[in-house]
Amino acid sequence: MKRLLFSLIVAFLWGNIAISATIVPHIMAYDLCVAQSGNDYTFTFFANTQPVSGKLLFHTISGDLLGEYTIIQPLQSGNNSITIPTSALPSSHSTIAWSLQLSAASNPQFGIIYEGEVCTRAYATINNHPESDYFGHIYLANRKGVGLCQIQAFDYAYQSTFATDNAYITFNSTGRPAIDSEGYIYWPDWGDLKSGITIMDPVDYSEKQFFSGIQNDDNGAWYNSFSKTDLGSSCSSVAIYGSGKDTKLYAMNEDVGEYQQLPKKGFVIYQLGNGDGTISRQWKTAPSQVVAVEDNNTNGNFAIVACSHGAWLCQHTLTNKAGSYALMFYDHQGTRQFASTDATLINGSNGAGIALNREENLLAMVNADGNILLFDIAWKGDCPTLSLHATYPTPFNAIGSMHFDYAGNLITTSGNNFGGSKDDLRLVTYSTPMDNNTIVVPARTSQHILRSGADISYTPISSNTSTPTKFIRNGHIYILHNGRLYNMLGL
């Protein structure tokens, strides 16, 4: 019924041709690569929609613009290849970073640009890190019953790259996942039987438990019995903010723990980044910070989104009132700076889907009716003020997870049932209206162009760098591994 109403609303907004009108995605480019052939360079990339124009932008390593090349040839949705002469490259620097600027037609209306197969209790996340070999890849957990969960992975074209079989039982009750800057996927488990956070390697999909301690499958607690320290517990959602030494993992925490050191239905923060830029993915001490969530007497089914100002929390609740606010924000000190006290604006949240854009000035959330509310955010220090930008009706009643991709499309798990035996969430991507449909995407460090004076010395690098590869540039030996370049000193 709601899908029919959705079509009628779109028809009203767009006129008689609404049902057949094409929804234009926010344009995006993936898998940016470059290779030398004689005196030419060939740049390749994948576009998610038809570009109307494009430019190659050349930069210094620090980001200063050195020059640009306007692409004259027609571009297409899908794979593209652009060949330019060496003379078109800037000659003033030995190392050239580059990025791709693409523009597409505007999108006048909200609508679905991708819909996957029906799942059950499904949560998803997307890799939004351009430096990663898995940039744009989507990971989906499909809970098919207690102790039965299937993990699926898709590339930027929604092509399946991995799927466990239906007997897969790593998780008991999968929560909302997150991805760090090196592409590792963090899968929380909200069930007590298999509580914790499982980390998955994006290269071979191998897994390991984040917590190093003892797990109590009666109450979901993870603890260190030697130091009498609580590590974590059952978790409905995780989020990651920062990269390298600044990487932090945020986790919703359901229970007080074995030694009652954790906030019940609050959240905890783990400082994963080390001083040398590496990321720790094993934890055996107390969380770096614990935050109690005020006025929370509901079931604790939260989604969490971390940002430079703190953390947004969205709660699955079909009401919005003191004691069960649908939306809250906490700053770095653990002080609540926002709560959705206006029930006429936010009437609840069916599924707790929430997303924040890269610029941190747009927030999307699902309301109690399954529609998407889009808010503009004005920041004063770490205190946000929200103003409603738009309300977008969807053909579904619930959204269990939501992320903006790098360009601004909304990656969701949407459905008509949430929180029961008839859950039917599935992967759904929406595009929102926009006038200026332009994106600039940086190429990975492994795709930088190295020059030696007027002579070019460049070895093409495959985007698959999971196997350490030795190569020579400008007379120096390098090792490429997982998208990072190392000299013979390991730097």
3-state secondary structure of 304: strand
Closest CA to 191 of 135, 124, 121: 121
DSSP E strands, 11-137:
29-37, 40-47, 51-59, 65-70, 78-85, 95-104, 111-115, 121-126
- Asked if pLDDT for residue 202 goes beyond 80, the answer is yes
Residue-wise pLDDT tens digits, 96-140? 999 999 999 999 999 999 999 998 889 999 999 999 999 999 999
Q: Quick one: average pLDDT of 461-486?
A: 48
Q: Quick one: average pLDDT of 459-473?
A: 46
Closest CA to 483 of 277, 204, 468: 468
Q: By the 8 A CB rule, do 350 and 394 touch?
A: no
What pLDDT does 217 receive? 82
CA 458: distance to chain centroid?
32
Q: By the 8 A CB rule, do 128 and 358 touch?
A: yes
Q: Quick one: average pLDDT of 359-384?
A: 98
Computed over every residue of the chain, the mean pLDDT equals 87
- Asked if pLDDT for residue 12 goes beyond 90, the answer is no
Give backbone dihedrals phi and psi of 447, rounded to 5 degrees, phi first.
-105, 10
Residue-wise pLDDT tens digits, 177-186? 999 999 999 9
Question: For the whole model, what pTM was predicted?
Answer: 0.88
What pLDDT does 21 receive? 59
The span from the CA of 347 to the CA of 441, in Å, is 37
Residue-wise pLDDT tens digits, 420-444? 778 899 999 999 999 999 999 999 9
Closest CA to 354 of 364, 341, 339, 367: 364
Q: Quick one: average pLDDT of 199-218?
A: 92
What pLDDT does 483 receive? 52
**Residue 147's pLDDT band (cuts 50, 70, 90):** low
Composition of the chain by helix, strand, coil, percent to 5? 5, 45, 50
The span from the CA of 401 to the CA of 125, in Å, is 8
Domain borders along the chain are 29-107+440-486, 111-432
Residue-wise pLDDT tens digits, 265-302? 899 999 999 999 999 999 999 999 999 997 665 678 99
Q: By the 8 A CB rule, do 199 and 175 touch?
A: no
Least confident of 3-17, 30-44, 235-249, 469-483: 3-17
Q: What CA dihedral angle connects 243, 245, 247 and 253, to 10 degrees?
A: 170
Side chain identity at residue 187, one-letter code: W
Q: Give the max Cα distance, the chain.
A: 70
Residue-wise pLDDT tens digits, 151-177? 899 999 999 998 876 545 566 678 999
CA 258 vs CA 212, 218, 275: distances in Å: 15, 11, 31
Domain 29-107+440-486 identical in fold to domain 111-432: no
Residue-wise pLDDT tens digits, 306-347? 999 999 999 999 999 888 899 999 999 999 999 999 999 999
Residue range 111-432, CATH number: 2.120.10.30
Identify the helix (H) or strand (E) that includes residue 6. Answer: helix 2-14
Closest CA to 473 of 463, 488, 465, 482: 488
The span from the CA of 363 to the CA of 328, in Å, is 12
* Class (C level, CATH) for 29-107+440-486: mainly beta
Give backbone dihedrals phi and psi of 16, rounded to 5 degrees, phi first.
-70, -20
